[in-house]
A and B are shown apart, each in its own frame.
Chain A
C-alpha cells in the first residue's frame, strides 16, 4: 500500500480501540489520525507497546512504512533487516535496524580457513550491559573472478553458517554461480554497476534477491541506476555511493549525508533504500595490517554516525570490533530512554538481613552496568541508587552531586537499617574520598569497593561477610 493512500481507519482497525486516552487524545481514532500525519509515534500509545499487541504494533508499523525501505537479507532466525529509517537524526525519533555488520571471506581462501573464519564470525559475542552484541553477515568476495571457485566458496560458507551472505563480484557469471550455490538463502547481490546492471538486475529477479547498486562518488549515476533497476522490476535495492577512507572521507560522508537527507527530508522514493558503507576498503591501500585495522576501526564508526545502514569489514580483531559493535549499540538505542533511572533501593536476588548493601548513582549507564555486574556475580544484595541527577560516580563526586549528605539521606529515606542488621555500606571505589564524611554523617561503616563494578564479584567473595573485629 502506498504511504499516501493510508487512511486513519486502516490504522484504527489495528489499535486497541479502548479509547483509554493514555495517549492524551480523546479516542483511538484521533490517535490514528495523528499517527498517519506522523504527529504521534506508536510509543505514545502505552497499551500498544505491550506484548499482547505486538502483532498489531508490527502491522501498523508496516502500514506507516518509512521513507527508506526496509530490506531483508537471508532467511531464518539470523536473517537481517536493514534500513527502514524514518528520520535523519536519532533525536528526532529513533533509529531502526541497527547497522548489520558483515565480515568478508574470499573464494581464494582454503576451505579450512574459510570454515574457521565463518564459524568464528557466527560465534562472535560481546556481553554489554546485559545484551549480546553480535556480527551479522558473511560477505563472500570473488578475488579470483572464477565462477567455479566462487561457487565452491559460497557453498562452503552456506553449509557452515546460518548467517546471511553477501555475494560480492562485478562479474554476472561469477555472481550467478554464487546464487546457484546459495539457493533459497536470499543473499544480497553486490553489485550492479553502470556496466552490468542489465545482467545483475536479471539475476536479482530470477533468484529473488536484494541487489546492491555501486556508483562510487556519482550520485547522479546512483540515482539513475536505482531508477532503472526499480523500473526493471527489482524492488529491494541497497545503495553504495562509495567508501573512500582518508583523503576521500569528506566526499564519503557528504555523499551519505546528502542521500540520507533526500530520503528522510524529501522522501525521494527513487533512492529510498538503505546505504552500504565499506570500512574494509582501508585494507586495500597496502598499508601495514595494524594501520589498516586502526583505520578500519574508526572508519566504521564514522560511517555509522553518518548514516550507513550496512557495513562490510575485514578485521576480525577484538580491539577493532569492540568499539564498532558498542558504538552501533549506542547509536541505535532509543534516545527517549532517560539519562537517569529512579533513585530507590533495588533488591537483587533474595537478600536477607546479613546481605551486603552497595551504592551507586542514578546515571542510567552506571546503574545498568553495576546491576549487570552484580547479577553476573550471582550475589543477593541491596543496591542504593542515589539521585545524582543522572551523573556517573566520578563526575558526581567531583561536581558535588554525590555527597555524604545525599548518601545519608538515601540510607534514611529507603529505610535501609530496617532491611539489614549490620551497618556497613559498600561505596564505589571512585567515591573513596567521601568515605570519612559518610561515616561521620550517616553513622554507617564504609567499605570502599572496587574502582570498577566488574570487580564486585571478587570484592564480595573476599570481603563479605566482613571479619568480626
Chain B
C-alpha cells in the first residue's frame, strides 16, 4: 500500500471514529438537556478550613524607571541528553515474516520522554488494542451496547473490533481457562486463538486468567499452534515458572508482557529473570493500570518514573510499556447509575477510559488495551495530533475571551 493510500484509509477510519463519537453523544443529548439543572438545595455548602486569609501587601512602587518598551528576551528550552533508549518490540508477523498477519506493528524505540517533540520525534506511535473475551462476561452497559451480538463468539467479536471500530490489534483474553470459572483445557483455548487468527488479519495478543500454572499450560499450547505469528502473550508474572514461559515465547517466536503490580523493583527483577532466556526485543512491561480515581495516581507516577529511569540509563527498564486501560471501568463513576446531575453513565464510562488512557499516554505507554469505541476514537484522534509540532493556529484562539459560546 502506498503512503497516500495508507493515509486515505486512516482518514476514512478516523471519520468513522468521529461518527461513533457523535452518535454516542447525540444519543444522550436529550437526557443530557434534562440533566444540566442542578438542584442547588441538594448540595452541601462548602466550608473550607480557615487558612489565615492572606492580606495582600500593597505593591511598593519602584523608584527606578519603568520600561516603556518590551524588554526583548529569548526563551531557550533546556534540552537534555538521555543515555538510554527504549527497545523496539515487533508485534505480529506477516507472511514474509513467518506469520499470516496483513501487517506487523512496532512499538517502543523512544530516546526522549513521551511527546517531548521539542527534543525528539516519536519513533513509533502507540498502538491501541481492542479487548475481546473468550466467554460472555459481565460488562458495563455502555460497553455492552456496542458488542452485544458477539459476546459469545470471540472470532466475531474480534472481527467487529477490526471492521467496525478500526482496531489495529486484538487483545484476546482467555478468561474461561480459569480453574475457578470454566477450566477450559489448553487444547480448546488454542482452538479459540486459531479461530481469532483466522477471523482477522491484525496482530493478536493473548491473555491468560491469572492462575500461574494454568496460564503456562495454555500459553504453551497456544504458542505452538500459532508458531511464527508473533503473538503478544499477556502476561508473564513473578509467580509463574518464568524460565519455562520465556522458553516457550522464544521457541515459537512470540513476544510477552512482563506484568508486575505497581513496583519498579519487581519489574526489574522479572526482567532480569526473563533476560536469561529472552532478548530484550521480546519484552513489553506492564506495571499495572489503575482506574482514574482508584489508584491512577500510583500507576501514572510509576510509569513516568519507569520510563524516565529507562531513558536515564536503567537497562532493566528500557522496554515499551503496556496499559490495561480497560481497568478504568472498575471506577464506580464509570459504570454506576448516579444522580442525574452527573450525566448518563453512557458518557461517563467512555470519558473515564479516555482520561485514564490519555494521562498514561503522556507518561510513555506504548500499548493500550481498551474497550469502548468512543474512547479508542478519542485516543486515536489525539495521537494523530500529537505526531508533530506546528499545528497551532494562533488566529483561532487569540480572541477566545470574546467568543460567544452556544450551549
A and B assemble together: yes
**Residues on B with beta carbons closer than 8 Å to the beta carbon of A365:** 290, 293-295
8 Å CB interface, A404-456 against B: 433-434, 452, 454
From known contacts A168-B401, A170-B401, infer whether A132 and B44 are also in contact, taking CB-CB under 8 Å: yes
Residue of B nearest to A270 (CB): B73
Query: Mask for B326-347, Cβ within 8 A of A = 1, else 0?
Result: 0000101100101001111001
Q: Which of B7-15, B96-104, B158-166, B299-307 contacts A (4 or more CB under 8 A)?
A: B299-307
Q: Are A124 and B403 in contact (CB under 8 A)?
A: no
Q: Are B53 and A231 in contact (CB under 8 A)?
A: no
Residue of A nearest to B40 (CB): A123
Q: Are B385 and A258 in contact (CB under 8 A)?
A: no
- Shortest Cβ distance from B31 into chain A, in angstroms? 11
Residue among B32, B294, B355 making CB contact with A301, cutoff 8 Å: B355
Residue among A258, A318, A366 making CB contact with B75, cutoff 8 Å: A258
From known contacts A91-B304, A319-B342, A322-B348, infer whether A254 and B117 are also in contact, taking CB-CB under 8 Å: yes
Q: Are A271 and B180 in contact (CB under 8 A)?
A: no
8 Å CB interface, A292-350 against B: 292-294, 297-298, 301-302, 305-306, 314, 316-320, 322-323, 326-327, 329-331, 333, 335, 339
Q: Please tell me if A148 contacts chain B, counting CB pairs below 8 Å.
A: no
Q: Are A91 and B394 in contact (CB under 8 A)?
A: no
Residue among A143, A249, A330 making CB contact with B300, cutoff 8 Å: A330
Residue of A nearest to B18 (CB): A291
B: number of interface residues (CB 8 Å) = 111
Q: Are A262 and B77 in contact (CB under 8 A)?
A: yes
Q: Are B74 and A284 in contact (CB under 8 A)?
A: no
Q: Are A254 and B332 in contact (CB under 8 A)?
A: no
From known contacts A143-B404, A231-B66, A318-B343, infer whether A222 and B355 are also in contact, taking CB-CB under 8 Å: no
Residue among B46, B261, B288, B344 making CB contact with A125, cutoff 8 Å: B46
Q: Are B352 and A242 in contact (CB under 8 A)?
A: no
Q: Are B336 and A301 in contact (CB under 8 A)?
A: no
Q: Are A228 and B115 in contact (CB under 8 A)?
A: no
A: number of interface residues (CB 8 Å) = 125
Query: Mask for A108-137, Cβ within 8 A of B = 1, else 0?
Result: 100000000001101111001000101000
Residue among B21, B118, B210, B296 making CB contact with A257, cutoff 8 Å: B118
Q: Which of A7-15, A73-81, A375-383, A458-466 contacts B (4 or more CB under 8 A)?
A: A73-81
Complex: A248 Cα to B388 Cα, angstroms: 9
- In the A-B complex, the 10 residue pairs with the smallest Cβ-Cβ separation, listed nearest first, are A319-B343, A289-B407, A248-B392, A318-B342, A398-B210, A247-B391, A219-B75, A251-B392, A290-B25, A330-B297
Residue of A nearest to B113 (CB): A257
Q: Please tell me if B217 contacts chain A, counting CB pairs below 8 Å.
A: no
Residue among A72, A227, A292 making CB contact with B54, cutoff 8 Å: A72
Complex: A249 Cα to B398 Cα, angstroms: 15
Residue of A nearest to B390 (CB): A251
Q: Are A253 and B115 in contact (CB under 8 A)?
A: yes
**Residues on A with beta carbons closer than 8 Å to the beta carbon of B58:** 208
Complex: A223 Cα to B71 Cα, angstroms: 9
Q: Please tell me if B265 contacts chain A, counting CB pairs below 8 Å.
A: no
Complex: A265 Cα to B296 Cα, angstroms: 26
Q: Are A250 and B406 in contact (CB under 8 A)?
A: no
B residues whose Cβ falls under 8 Å from a Cβ of A: 21-22, 25-26, 28-29, 32, 35-36, 38, 40, 43-46, 48, 50, 53-62, 66-68, 70-75, 77-78, 115-118, 178, 180-181, 209-212, 237, 239, 261-262, 288, 290, 292-298, 300-302, 304-305, 308, 330, 332-333, 336, 338, 341-344, 347-348, 351-352, 354-355, 358-359, 362, 378, 381-382, 385-394, 396-407
Q: Are B392 and A391 in contact (CB under 8 A)?
A: no
Q: List 15 A-B contacts (CB under 8 A).
A: A75-B53, A224-B73, A231-B71, A232-B67, A244-B393, A246-B385, A248-B397, A258-B118, A262-B77, A270-B73, A294-B351, A297-B354, A298-B378, A318-B338, A322-B348
Interface centre among B43, B297, B330, B336 (most CB of A within 10 A): B297
Q: Are B359 and A302 in contact (CB under 8 A)?
A: yes
The interface residues of chain A, by DSSP majority, are classed as helix
Residue of A nearest to B44 (CB): A125
Q: Please tell me if A357 contacts chain B, counting CB pairs below 8 Å.
A: no
Q: Are A141 and B46 in contact (CB under 8 A)?
A: no
**Residues on B with beta carbons closer than 8 Å to the beta carbon of A363:** 295
From known contacts A77-B53, A233-B59, infer whether A217 and B70 are also in contact, taking CB-CB under 8 Å: no
Complex: A221 Cα to B300 Cα, angstroms: 33
Q: Are B75 and A208 in contact (CB under 8 A)?
A: no
Query: Mask for A41-81, Cβ within 8 A of B = 1, else 0?
Result: 00000000000000000000000000000001001111100
Complex: A141 Cα to B402 Cα, angstroms: 7
Q: Are B116 and A254 in contact (CB under 8 A)?
A: yes
**Residues on B with beta carbons closer than 8 Å to the beta carbon of A123:** 38, 40, 43-46
Q: Please tell me if A369 contacts chain B, counting CB pairs below 8 Å.
A: yes
The interface residues of chain B, by DSSP majority, are classed as loop
From known contacts A281-B397, A301-B355, infer whether A249 and B295 are also in contact, taking CB-CB under 8 Å: no
Residue among A77, A228, A250, A335 making CB contact with B387, cutoff 8 Å: A250
Q: Are A217 and B394 in contact (CB under 8 A)?
A: yes
Residue among B54, B343, B392 making CB contact with A252, cutoff 8 Å: B392
8 Å CB interface, A205-260 against B: 205, 208, 216-217, 219-225, 227-228, 231-235, 242-244, 246-254, 257-258
Q: Are A323 and B402 in contact (CB under 8 A)?
A: no
Residue among A242, A306, A433 making CB contact with B392, cutoff 8 Å: A242
Known: A283-B407, A369-B294. 11 other contacts (CB 8 A): A228-B71, A232-B67, A246-B381, A251-B391, A283-B403, A288-B26, A294-B347, A318-B35, A330-B293, A333-B297, A392-B294
A residues whose Cβ falls under 8 Å from a Cβ of B: 72, 75-79, 89-91, 106, 108, 119-120, 122-125, 128, 132, 134, 141-143, 145, 168-170, 186, 190-191, 194, 197-198, 205, 208, 216-217, 219-225, 227-228, 231-235, 242-244, 246-254, 257-258, 261-262, 265-266, 270-271, 278, 280-281, 283-285, 288-294, 297-298, 301-302, 305-306, 314, 316-320, 322-323, 326-327, 329-331, 333, 335, 339, 363-366, 369, 389-392, 394-395, 397-400, 433-434, 452, 454
Residue of A nearest to B77 (CB): A258
Q: Are A399 and B343 in contact (CB under 8 A)?
A: no
Complex: A333 Cα to B295 Cα, angstroms: 10
**Residues on A with beta carbons closer than 8 Å to the beta carbon of B262:** 339, 390
Complex: A194 Cα to B398 Cα, angstroms: 12
**Residues on A with beta carbons closer than 8 Å to the beta carbon of B56:** 72, 75, 186, 208
- Shortest Cβ distance from B297 into chain A, in angstroms? 4
Complex: A25 Cα to B40 Cα, angstroms: 53
Complex: A167 Cα to B295 Cα, angstroms: 36
- Shortest Cβ distance from B90 into chain A, in angstroms? 26
Residue among B22, B296, B298, B348 making CB contact with A327, cutoff 8 Å: B296
- Shortest Cβ distance from B54 into chain A, in angstroms? 5
- Shortest Cβ distance from A74 into chain B, in angstroms? 9
Q: Are A335 and B59 in contact (CB under 8 A)?
A: no
Residue of A nearest to B347 (CB): A319
Complex: A254 Cα to B116 Cα, angstroms: 6
Q: Are A301 and B358 in contact (CB under 8 A)?
A: yes
Q: Are A280 and B400 in contact (CB under 8 A)?
A: yes
Residue of A nearest to B76 (CB): A262
- Shortest Cβ distance from A335 into chain B, in angstroms? 5
Complex: A288 Cα to B294 Cα, angstroms: 31
- Shortest Cβ distance from A354 into chain B, in angstroms? 30
**Residues on A with beta carbons closer than 8 Å to the beta carbon of B115:** 250, 253-254
Residue among A72, A124, A285, A339 making CB contact with B396, cutoff 8 Å: A285
Complex: A363 Cα to B297 Cα, angstroms: 13
**Residues on B with beta carbons closer than 8 Å to the beta carbon of A250:** 115, 117, 385-391
Complex: A363 Cα to B8 Cα, angstroms: 47
Complex: A305 Cα to B360 Cα, angstroms: 9
**Residues on B with beta carbons closer than 8 Å to the beta carbon of A320:** 343, 351
Q: Are A290 and B26 in contact (CB under 8 A)?
A: yes
From known contacts A132-B46, A208-B58, infer whether A318 and B297 are also in contact, taking CB-CB under 8 Å: no
